[in-house]
């Protein structure tokens, strides 16, 4: 199988590498000349077989809109576009309809794994027609961690369902990170606690709150025990807000996720220890930029 990939940032570049390691031919395009395989989208499409598959890994919103519109004018009937970025599910539905006018098929895929996905594999949540998903299963099989097909991959439903599932995943992620961060601040505030990193380390095995995020928290504390090099300013990339909006729209109570989103807003006003930890965790699992104290 030979596919094209547009967008070779922290996620796309690693995914290209993992696909190649798994025997998939990938021609990638990025505006960054240091990582791109070709000089333009036209060159990328010319390098692909007649039945083209193009995986998009660019930021959500206007940039994804522009890439989809460009492909709609250049691909042909029965070609397939996969959007693996963090696009809002409602945009997927619009993109699918736009491409369908030219007979181009569309699949949305939520991808989780951050900068560690190259080594560990990715969690994948796909939305689209059954036949389209079946055709690109070899891609998902290479990207997910080794094991049976059911592990770390799900065909969630129709177009938009994959990114809807990823949106909820990220909303849950917000809540878990906030809980760990608040626990960190409480431990650090108590004089009788002499080893905060060791306390979290003791929770890594055998406890009911052990997780990969906890492992990354311990790693962050080993690298910077007092988080001196990180300001308590935390960005939000959109999925948390969308999760809260959907909770409201569907009358589903989501107090923990909602509070975690608001906590990120609060972080932009005060340099709180808990928000330093949330910022450190985002950097650990996703390579997201942090604000330094002097910024």
Write out the two tokens for 241.
């807000």
Say whether 190 is catalytic: no
Separation of alpha carbons 69 and 195, rounded Å: 54
Rounded to 5 degrees, φ, ψ at 107 are: -130, 135
What SS3 class is residue 256? helix
- The answer to whether 143 and 124 are in contact (CB under 8 A) is yes
Name 120's bridge partners.
none
Say whether 166 is catalytic: yes
Residue (of 132, 67, 133) closest to 98 by Cα position? 67
- The answer to whether 243 and 254 are in contact (CB under 8 A) is yes
Separation of alpha carbons 13 and 6, rounded Å: 10
Catalytic: which of 166, 182, 239, 276?
166
Catalytic: which of 52, 173, 239, 276?
173
SS3 content of the chain, % helix, strand, coil (to 5): 50, 10, 40
Write out the two tokens for 141.
């099989």
- The answer to whether 224 and 145 are in contact (CB under 8 A) is no
Alpha helices in the chain (DSSP H): 10-21, 41-47, 62-72, 89-100, 117-120, 130-135, 137-143, 161-189, 196-202, 212-223, 239-249, 255-267, 273-286
Catalytic positions, written as ranges: 166, 173
């Amino acid at each position: 199988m030979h596919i094209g990939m547009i967008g070779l940032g922290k996620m796309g570049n690693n995914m290209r590498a993992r696909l190649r390691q798994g025997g998939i031919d990938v021609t990638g395009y990025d505006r960054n000349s240091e990582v791109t395989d070709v000089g333009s989208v036209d060159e990328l499409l010319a390098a692909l077989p007649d039945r083209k598959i193009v995986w998009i890994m660019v930021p959500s919103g206007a940039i994804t809109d522009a890439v989809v519109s460009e492909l709609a004018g250049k691909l042909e009937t029965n070609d397939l576009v996969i959007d693996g970025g963090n696009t809002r599910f409602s945009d997927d539905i619009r993109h699918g309809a736009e491409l369908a006018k030219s007979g181009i098929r569309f699949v949305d895929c939520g991808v989780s794994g951050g900068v560690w996905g190259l080594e560990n594999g990715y969690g994948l949540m796909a939305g689209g027609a059954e036949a389209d998903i079946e055709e690109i299963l070899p891609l998902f099989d290479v990207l997910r961690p080794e094991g049976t097909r059911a592990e770390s991959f799900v065909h969630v439903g129709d177009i938009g369902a994959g990114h809807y599932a990823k949106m909820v995943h990220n909303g849950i992620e917000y809540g878990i990170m906030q809980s760990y961060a608040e626990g960190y601040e409480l431990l650090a505030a108590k004089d009788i606690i002499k080893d905060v990193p060791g306390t979290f380390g003791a929770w890594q095995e055998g406890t009911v709150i052990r997780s990969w995020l906890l492992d990354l928290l311990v790693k962050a504390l080993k690298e910077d025990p007092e988080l001196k090099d990180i300001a308590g300013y935390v960005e939000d990339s959109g999925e948390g807000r969308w999760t809260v909006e959907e909770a409201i729209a569907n009358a589903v109570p989501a107090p923990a996720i909602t509070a975690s989103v608001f906590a990120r807003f609060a972080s932009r006003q005060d340099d709180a220890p808990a928000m330093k930890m949330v910022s450190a965790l985002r950097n650990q699992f996703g390579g997201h930029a942090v604000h330094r104290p002097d910024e």
